[in-house]
Amino acid sequence: MNTALEPVIQSLIDEKYALIEDRYHSGMSVLAELKNRIFGKKDKSDFKAYRGKRSEFHEASNRLLVPVRDNKIALEKSPDIGWLKELYPDIANFMLSFPQIQGLNSSWQWYLKGISYPGLNKKIHPYYGAYFPTRFEHLRLFYNWLKNYSGPKTAAIDVGTGCGVLSFQLLTQGFEKVIASDINSNSLISVSKSAEKFGFEDRLDILQSDLFDQIDHKADLIVFNPPWLPAQSEITGLDHAIYYEPGLFERFFEQAHNHLNAEGTLVLLFSNLAQTEGVTQLHPVKTELSNYNRFRKVDLLEKKAVKASRKSKRRSHRKNEIIELWVLEKVLSAD
Ligand SMILES: C[S@@+](CC[C@H](N)C(=O)[O-])C[C@H]1O[C@@H](n2cnc3c(N)ncnc32)[C@H](O)[C@@H]1O
């Protein structure tokens, strides 16, 4: 324990704010000590207890503040984060929390570097706040399925497009028109910037929509890589990529049925993560198929998830994870 940091750690825990005034690295040291203090030697395989500590850490760490002046972090030896100019062009002097700065920094690094995804000949550079995958099993599974897809390719809808990766795969594989939608507005900025780079602007409609609320087209193919875990509390922003609220899948299947052409195909990417993490035994796709007569299963492709790296804290939960690609067709009513 670094005793010099003890008063700062105690303030953060006591719900007081603290401002870093010297070096960027001081912020890292404070967060490392705070983590030790809150988590102690807690067993990380107890997922529920771990979640409680995580939210305590989240709140305390966000009381550690960083000064920003003229679009730069006003601390010695700080990283240069282009988002500060892009997102706050007219604010000269303000503060952000250290975790916010870390998030901006990490996002900026990904944006600069870009990511190569299966089936795409150019990198995607995800805009701040847009979800982008860093594991590729589901993208490979979808791309391999798509290469063998022989149905009509007039129009597809990519619900919850994130950084647009599935839309770009669809366009690369010859879909004439793709509608990419997401509830997250940053995701739409991201997709529209990438669409220009790929030269797909004319064949891609990008819109902000809660599921199909703003979509009035029908499609030959609808694809949805939804959040895979049920939310345990209220969710905002990027959490929508990971956690789903009650009723999301009921609404999705009902609306998807209305937006799919008669001979159309519905593809969902999912995994058994909620089961392997002990969160729920319920599986939204299986629930839909057994409770309603709207869709029929055509195929289920499965792939074992690649084990997380040895450094990952979550490796025990990922060990038995299976990624799933569900192919469904529409059940037409008798009348
Ligand atoms: C797991 S991410 C998938 C992103 C991308 N399709 C991919 O495969 O990488 C889920 C996406 O669904 C979006 N989303 C969640 N709830 C939504 C809703 N009700 N309507 C539209 N999009 C939603 C999230 O914002 C997120 O971008």
In a domain, 173, yes or no: yes
Q: Which two tokens stand for residue 204?
A: 């891609």
Contact criterion met (CB below 8 Å) for 290 and 249: no
Residue ranges making up the domain that contains 13: 3-112
What are the φ/ψ torsions at residue 326 (nearest 5 degrees)? -95, 130
**Based on the domain organization, do 73 and 185 belong to the same domain?**
no
Q: Is 90 within the bounds of a domain? A: yes
Same domain, 108 and 151: no
187 lines ligand 1 (CB under 6 A): yes
Minimal CA–CA distance to 136: which of 163, 113, 158? 163
- Provide DSSP, 262-281: EEEEEEEEEESHHHHTTS-S
Please tell me whether residues 183 and 97 are part of one structural domain.
no
**What distance in Å separates the CA atoms of residue 262 and residue 293, rounded to the nearest whole number?**
15
Residue 12 lies in a domain: yes
Whether residues 188 and 271 fall in one domain: yes
Q: Which of 112, 127, 159 is a domain's end point?
A: 112
Number of domains in the chain: 2
Residue whose CA is at the smallest distance from ligand 1 atom 15: 240
Angle between helices 165-172 and 137-147 (to 10 degrees): 20
Nearest to 127 by CA among 156, 163, 92, 164: 163
* CATH at residue 213: 3.40.50.150
User: Is 203 part of a structural domain of the chain?
Assistant: yes
- The single-letter DSSP state of residue 293 is S
* CA 73 to ligand 1 center in whole angstroms: 31
pLDDT number for residue 319: 73
**282 with 158, same domain?**
yes
Q: Could you report how far apart the first and last alpha carbons of the chain are, in Å?
A: 73
Residues 75 and 185 in one domain: no
**pLDDT value at position 43?**
62
12-46 burial by CB neighbour count: b if 16+ within 10 A, else e?
beeeeebebeeebebbeebbebbeebbeeeeebee
State which of 127, 146, 157, 182 you would mutate to test the pocket of ligand 1, scoring each by most atoms of that ligand within 8 A of its C-beta: 182
132 occurs within a structural domain: no
- For residue 228, the surrounding DSSP H or E stretch is none
78 lies in the same domain as 167: no
β-strand pairing of 64-69 with 93-97 = antiparallel
**pLDDT value, residue 141:** 97
Instruction: Give domain status of residue 185, yes or no.
Output: yes
- Whole-structure pTM value: 0.91
Question: How close is the Cα of 288 to the center of ligand 1, in Å?
Answer: 19
**Rounded-to-integer distance, Cα 96 and Cα 88, Å:** 11
Q: Are residues 294 and 175 in the same domain?
A: yes
Same domain (yes/no): 216, 100: no
Residue of minimum CA distance from atom 13 in ligand 1: 160
Task: Give CA–CA dist 100/118, Å, rounded.
Answer: 30
Per-position pLDDT tens, the chain of length 335: 567 789 999 999 999 999 999 999 999 999 999 999 998 866 666 666 777 888 899 999 999 999 999 999 999 999 999 999 999 999 889 999 999 999 999 999 999 999 999 999 999 999 999 999 999 999 999 999 999 999 999 999 999 999 999 999 999 999 999 999 999 999 999 999 999 999 999 999 999 999 999 999 999 999 999 999 999 888 888 889 999 999 999 999 999 999 999 999 999 999 999 998 888 899 999 999 999 999 999 999 999 988 654 444 444 556 789 999 999 999 987 55
Q: How far apart are CA 335 and CA 329, in angstroms?
A: 18
Give phi and psi for 266, each to the nearest 5.
-115, 125
Question: Is 311 in the same domain as 236?
Answer: yes
The answer to whether the CB of 124 is under 6 A from ligand 1 is: no
| Angstrom distance (rounded) from CA 45 to CA 272 | 17
167 lines ligand 1 (CB under 6 A): no
Q: Does residue 320 form part of some domain?
A: yes
Beta bridge partners of 299: 327
Domain identity same for 195 and 281: yes
| 105 and 152 part of one domain | no
